[in-house]
Amino acid sequence: MSTYVLIHGAWHGGWCWDRVVPLLEQHGHSVIAPDLPGHGDDKTPLHQVTLQAYADKVCEVVNAQAEPVILVGHSMGGMVITRAAEQCVSKISKLVYLAAILLGNEAPVPEDPEALIGPSMILSADQNFFTVKEDMIKPAFYGDCSNADIAWATSKLTPQPSNPMGQSATTVTTEENYGRIPRVYIECLKDRAITPAAQKTMYTNMPCEQVISMTTDHSPFLSDPEGLAEHLHRLRS
């Protein structure tokens, strides 16, 4: 069986994988879902959080495992796993981008005028973090989720440090490191945070060995955890 490291996206924490972790473990896999700095239970001051700090945390977790891992990044977590993969390539067997930002060599994030997330963001007065307009949380993140799940997830969202959001195009990848790791993209066809069109642009510009489609919102770890876990299980090494 395989070891999976699951990396959350903006505003979220390792908690968002709570329903996927036991399903993968039932298949015999080992699963780690850490909090990135400034997220979940991690108390790193928001103004100190950078994209590099995220990548360093991921490499710390990955390097502690006995075998190369399947590294999964959701949404903003895509740019985190890309940078981490360039740093700790020998400990990663596969990269999985789940409705995620997939960029290389300073390519810009594709224009996504239909996405809800941009208009939903509120920058703090000190410019250290973003929050999300309360009435946009459901349509942007959790369109297919139950009201109970939305309430649970909303109660756990934390402010998103602004520094990493401005550093999304600063990772330079090389064929010798990042380029030698197989990539898989899982697109979410009802996504309104990163639209399917933008997802397709990214995985077309950065080709993957496999593209998997899920007919879900931006958060299949809540709206279809069984389906997501099964897709991830089939990617086992």
CB-based contact 132:140 (threshold 8 Å): yes
φ/ψ (deg, to 5) at 26: -65, -25
Pull the structure tokens for residue 237.
């090494």
Instruction: Give me the DSSP letters along 162-179.
Output: HHHHTTTT-PPP-TTTGG
Amino acid occupying residue 73:
G
Question: In angstroms, rounded to a whole number, what is the distance separating the alpha carbons of residues 110 and 206?
Answer: 12
Q: Active-site residue among 2, 30, 75, 219?
A: 75
Beta-carbon contacts of 176 under 8 Å, excluding residues fewer than 6 positions away, are none
Beta-carbon contacts of 48 under 8 Å, excluding residues fewer than 6 positions away, are 37, 38
CA 5 to chain centre: 11
Question: In angstroms, rounded to a whole number, what is the distance separating the alpha carbons of residues 73 and 81?
Answer: 6
Beta bridge partners of 181: none
Helix (H, G, I), strand (E, B), or coil: what is residue 90?
Answer: helix
Question: In angstroms, rounded to a whole number, what is the distance separating the alpha carbons of residues 8 and 10?
Answer: 7
- Whether 237 is catalytic is no
Q: What is the dihedral of CA 217, 219, 222, 226, to 10 degrees?
A: 80
Positions marked catalytic: 75
